[in-house]
Amino acid sequence: MKLSGTVHKYGVNVDTDAIIPARYLNVSEGAELAKHAMEGIDVQFVNRVSAGDFIVAGANFGCGSSREHAPLAIKASGVACVVAGSFARIFFRNAINIGLPILTCEEVVAGTESGDTLEIDLETGRIRNVTRGTVYRAQPYPQFMLELIAAGGLIEHTRARLKARGVIP
Amino acid sequence: MTLAEKILAAHAGKARVDPGELVNARVDLVLSNDITAPIAIREFRRIGVSRVFDPRKVVMVPDHFTPNKDILSAEQARLVRDFALEQGLVYFEVGRMGIEHVLLPEQGLVLPGDVVIGADSHTCTYGALGAFSTGMGSTDIASAMASGEIWMKVPATIRFVYRGSLPQWVGGKDLILHTIGDIGVDGALYSAMEFSGEAVRNLSMDGRFTMANMAIEAGAKAGLFAVDEATEEYVRDRARRPYQVYQPDRDAGYERVVEYDISRIEPQVACPHSPANTRPVSQVGGIEIDQAVIGSCTNGRLEDLRIAARVLRGRQVHPRVRCIVIPGSQRVYLEALREGLMEVFVGSGAAVSTPTCGPCLGGYMGVLAAGERCVSTTNRNFVGRMGSPQSEVYLSNPAVAAASAVAGRIVSPVEVAG
């Protein structure tokens, strides 16, 4: 799938309290959470973001709490993909599990600024900065991750496994 | 194999595992709380099974926004309670509960050699018992509640060796803050931390829980201690099922080994806005504070309250400061009451609360206004963590927090209590 959108860029160690402050965790619906996406670091994000945009950030994106509300808020805000230098491990799992596309690529972070237009091919991991005319390649997903994504996410994958075992008819 | 590798191999039914390998591991306990369980329950229903894999191995603890802080939190707590009762899960109601990571070990629900996953990043706390425990999101928890298994990538292990003996007023919190300050908030990303050396062998179980608890603050998947006499002593009267003790091999393969001589370190303070922004307390510069919080899954255990009481006994909280003390569990609360610690806290002008995560994540029971500063025994000092994005959080051990509450500024306990 080829995506095209505008970049919102942030620094390193963007934590889950920045992505969705805990005071909003008394709800769990994506649409509600999206009203406060990135509020801890950028109160204007929700006013600027358009469907199909990208977040580009430095290393250790999504560090801190295990709250799945963080990728849910980003996804429901319309962001089509997060590209970061690296991801905190719980955020990485959560994003895959809820179907928020994420790519790891250090070089694109260095060569991209807010407002740039990117084209991202999720299948190949090819990222083109249209504004600057540069091309990058993100790290490929491990094989197991591709199977999870192909199955439609962890819940579908689990259901298939339990069906195969006869736990679910 | 390292400790983490041995436990994962046993739970994956393999003789050996190596770092980077993907395994499907059997889980001994699956945990969630009033914030993360609602999503886990929603996803669990989508899988299409009617019952959890084993209700004795699924725990739900309402601890984050409870006693209910507002109507929406009350709705979430009710959803969790209804599901827990419907499924017959292990569940602790307000008045009997505690902060999950204080409560579960105390109740003997986590034992050495276990694999535990929890929808809370501080699930890594149980590594203090020689268990492999790690935080995950709600959907992973839903999958494990249905199947009793979880996929995991075997982490590489970094071994930390702490030499020397602990100086006065220095404890587990200072060792882990010192470590995170050294390696950074992603210094152990995707890895397991294995804590060893004579300084941690002499550390109490409460101090070890504090260290393992903050492994996530270095990006780690788990933080583990090998089982010794102190661990056995801790679980002896608590275990109600058999357990297996694993020890790391002498020739285990570590990604690297980091050594510290801690004989001369001071109590450590993590300054805003990162747990890695760590300095010795003498170099913090006497920052004036508005609030001091003593509690949480990091430092809400009996030893922590004893240390805080030792500093506060016969002294008064500074007139400008709100000091909030939160025992980590109902049992900690009762023990502290019996030992006379509560009289010290209340007499010194501190507010004492029933167990809750409340202020640590800016939920309630101590939210900060713009421009306010708080010294806290909790685990995170990110921007806005405890309230206004214009507030500041300084992380410390209970002695520093108590001494700072008295002085009205961040000071060494030596200055207040000698």
Chain-wide mean pLDDT for chain B? 98
B359-377 mean pLDDT? 98
Main-chain phi, psi angles of B201, to 5 degrees: -65, -30
Per-residue CA distances from B224 to A3, B93, B133, B260 (Å): 42, 29, 9, 17
A66-94 mean pLDDT? 97
Residue A57, domain CATH: 3.20.19.10
pLDDT value at B376 more than 90: yes
Return the exposure string of A104-142: e unless at least 16 CB atoms fall within 10 Å of the residue's CB, then b: bbbebbebbeeebbbebebeebebbbeeeeeebebeebe
pLDDT (0 to 100) of residue B260: 98
Distance from CA of A53 to the nearest CA of B (A): 24
B10 and B42 housed in the same domain:
yes
- Using the beta-carbon criterion (under 8 Å), do A65 and B121 form an inter-chain contact? yes
Nearest to B163 by CA among B178, B151, B147: B178
Residue A32: inside a domain: yes
B160-183 mean pLDDT? 98
B227 and B296 housed in the same domain:
no
pLDDT (0 to 100) of residue A169: 85
pLDDT bucket at A123, cuts 50 / 70 / 90 = confident
> Lowest mean pLDDT: which of A141-145, A161-165, B163-167, B341-345?
A141-145
The 10s digit of each residue's pLDDT in B242-278 is: 999 999 999 999 999 999 999 999 999 999 999 999 9
Q: Which domain holds residue B142?
A: 3-260
- Using the beta-carbon criterion (under 8 Å), do A67 and B190 form an inter-chain contact? no
Domain count across chain A = 1
B240 and B275 housed in the same domain:
no
Enumerate the residues of chain A whose CB falls inside 8 A of the CB of residue B39: 28, 68-69, 72
The 10s digit of each residue's pLDDT in A1-51 is: 789 999 999 999 999 999 999 999 999 999 999 999 999 999 999 999 999
Interatomic CA distance for residues B298 and B207, integer angstroms: 9
* β-strand partners of A15: A63
**What 3-state DSSP class applies to B50?**
coil
Enumerate the residues of chain A whose CB falls inside 8 A of the CB of residue B41: none
Q: Give the nearest chain B residue to A43 (CA atoms).
A: B389
Residue A83: inside a domain: yes
**Domain end marker among B206, B234, B260:** B260
pLDDT (0 to 100) of residue A145: 85
pLDDT (0 to 100) of residue B396: 99
Q: Give the nearest chain A residue to B390 (CA atoms).
A: A40
pLDDT (0 to 100) of residue A151: 85
Q: Which domain holds residue A44?
A: 2-141
B26 and B163 housed in the same domain:
yes
pLDDT (0 to 100) of residue A149: 83
Find out whether B141 and B33 touch, Cβ atoms under 8 Å: no
pLDDT value at A140 more than 90: no
- Using the beta-carbon criterion (under 8 Å), do B22 and A27 form an inter-chain contact? no
Domain count across chain B = 2
B160 and B27 housed in the same domain:
yes
Q: Which residues, at least 6 apart from B103, have a Cβ–Cβ distance to it below 8 Å? A: B61, B63, B92, B97, B328, B329, B355
pLDDT value at A150 more than 90: no
Residue A93: inside a domain: yes
The 10s digit of each residue's pLDDT in B20-75 is: 999 999 999 999 999 999 999 999 999 999 999 999 999 999 999 999 999 999 99
B249 and B336 housed in the same domain:
no
- Using the beta-carbon criterion (under 8 Å), do A17 and B46 form an inter-chain contact? no
A79-88 mean pLDDT? 97
Find out whether B404 and B320 touch, Cβ atoms under 8 Å: no
- Using the beta-carbon criterion (under 8 Å), do A168 and B49 form an inter-chain contact? yes
Find out whether B324 and B295 touch, Cβ atoms under 8 Å: yes
**Domain end marker among B260, B294, B313:** B260
B129-147 mean pLDDT? 98
Find out whether B289 and B400 touch, Cβ atoms under 8 Å: no
Residue B48, domain CATH: 3.30.499.10
- Using the beta-carbon criterion (under 8 Å), do B136 and A27 form an inter-chain contact? no
pLDDT (0 to 100) of residue B15: 98
- What's A97-158 look like in SS3? HHCCCEEECHHHHHCCCCCCEEEEECCCCEEEECCCCEEEECCCCCHHHHHHHHHCCHHHHH
pLDDT (0 to 100) of residue A104: 97
Task: Report chain B's C-alpha Rg in angstroms.
Answer: 20
Flag whether the ipTM exceeds 0.90: yes
pLDDT > 70 in chain A, percent: 100
The chain A residues in contact with chain B (CB within 8 A) are 13, 15, 17-18, 21-23, 25-28, 40-41, 59-60, 63-69, 71-72, 86, 88-90, 93-94, 97-98, 142, 144, 153-155, 157-159, 161-162, 167-168
Nearest to B342 by CA among B309, B378, B379: B309
Instruction: State the DSSP string of A55-79.
Output: EEE-SSBTBS---THHHHHHHHTT-
pLDDT (0 to 100) of residue A141: 85
Number of Cβ atoms within 10 Å of the Cβ of B396:
28
Q: Give the nearest chain A residue to B68 (CA atoms).
A: A26
pLDDT > 70 in chain B, percent: 100
* DSSP category for residue B365: S
pLDDT (0 to 100) of residue A144: 84
B245 and B138 housed in the same domain:
yes
B255 and B306 housed in the same domain:
no
Residue A116: inside a domain: yes
B292 and B229 housed in the same domain:
no
Structure tokens at B371: 């421009």
Instruction: Write out the H or E segment, with its range, that includes residue A94.
Output: helix A89-98
Find out whether B180 and B220 touch, Cβ atoms under 8 Å: no
B308 and B382 housed in the same domain:
yes
Residue A155: inside a domain: no
Distance from CA of B264 to the nearest CA of A (A): 30
Nearest to B112 by CA among B248, B247, B245, B249: B245
Interatomic CA distance for residues B317 and B315, integer angstroms: 7
- Using the beta-carbon criterion (under 8 Å), do B140 and A97 form an inter-chain contact? yes
Of A18, A25, A90, the CB nearest to B35: A25
Residue A158: inside a domain: no
Question: Prior bond to B11 cis, omega within 30?
Answer: no
B132 and B62 housed in the same domain:
yes
pLDDT (0 to 100) of residue B39: 98
Residue A42: inside a domain: yes
**Domain end marker among B217, B242, B260:** B260
- Using the beta-carbon criterion (under 8 Å), do A60 and B380 form an inter-chain contact? no
Residue A99: inside a domain: yes
- Using the beta-carbon criterion (under 8 Å), do B72 and A89 form an inter-chain contact? no
B73 and B159 housed in the same domain:
yes
pLDDT (0 to 100) of residue B225: 98
* β-strand partners of B368: B387
pLDDT bucket at B418, cuts 50 / 70 / 90 = confident
